[in-house]
Amino acid sequence: MMEIIYHGHSCVQIVTNGKSLVIDPFLRGNELAVTKPEDIKTNAVLLTHGHTDHILDAPQVARDNDAPIVAVVELASYMEGKGLKTIGMNLGGTVDLDFAKATMIQAFHSSGITTDDGQTIYGGVPAGYIIRAEGLTVLHAGDTALFGDMKMIGERFDIDVAFLPIGDHFTMGPEDALVAAKWLSAKLVIPVHYNSFPIIRQDADAFAAKVQAQGQNAQVLAPGEKIELQAGSI
């Protein structure tokens, strides 16, 4: 049985085979989050790109759990410079975490790391992930615009759950996310990256209803809410 916990914004935790991974921990900076960084117990931290609203709590979570940070090589190098364990990878690569496999897929966005002195440094290319464990395939799209190769990703992978950003302005909005859901052929679609800031306010329930109207399942999760899945249950 796989447990998926939504921690708000783009932070998703997957508990499987008695272990867990957490993607893009951003808790202290999200007033909607109900979980604190010190509450996260995990075996790996996966980062999609270097923006603050995706990496803010990664160092603390990784250090507290003695867990490696998985990220594109440039971002991994930055985290290694902070004394953290890292696994650097790149688009198309797969990392075997022992309890799950994570494949890095493309995302159309930007990626810069804001340093303590307010400078922005290169963070490598942005990415998403395909996570496979217990016969289930979970896609985390990262921050992305709609792009045509989502069709290819949907054809190559039998996607059970897709976490898609819907906030607009910085990522695709609900209309493009609806197309992405269709192209990815996900059995269950869960919206992320919305309502954390005024500029990305969206009606997630309205989006979910449109996903269901096109013949796919959709579910809106509140921060801290979890679902349990097993292969063939969706």
Q: What DSSP letter does each residue of 117-150 carry, written as one string?
A: TS-EEE----EEEEEEETTEEEEE--S----TTH
Condensed to tens digits (0 to 9), the pLDDT of residues 42-77 reads 999 999 999 999 999 999 999 999 999 999 999 999
106, 45 contact by CB (below 8 A): no
Q: What is the pLDDT of residue 234?
A: 81
Cβ–Cβ < 8 Å for 23, 12:
yes
Given pLDDT bands bounded at 50, 70 and 90, which one contains residue 19?
very high
Number of C-alpha atoms within 13 angstroms, CB side, residue 20?
Answer: 16
- The domains of the chain, with CATH numbers, are 2-218 (3.60.15.10)
Name the pLDDT band for 169 (thresholds 50, 70, 90).
Answer: very high
pTM, full prediction: 0.98
Contacts of 57 (CB under 8 A, 6+ apart): 25, 26, 27, 28, 37, 40
pLDDT (tens digit per residue) in 74-120: 999 999 999 999 999 999 999 999 999 999 999 999 999 999 899 99
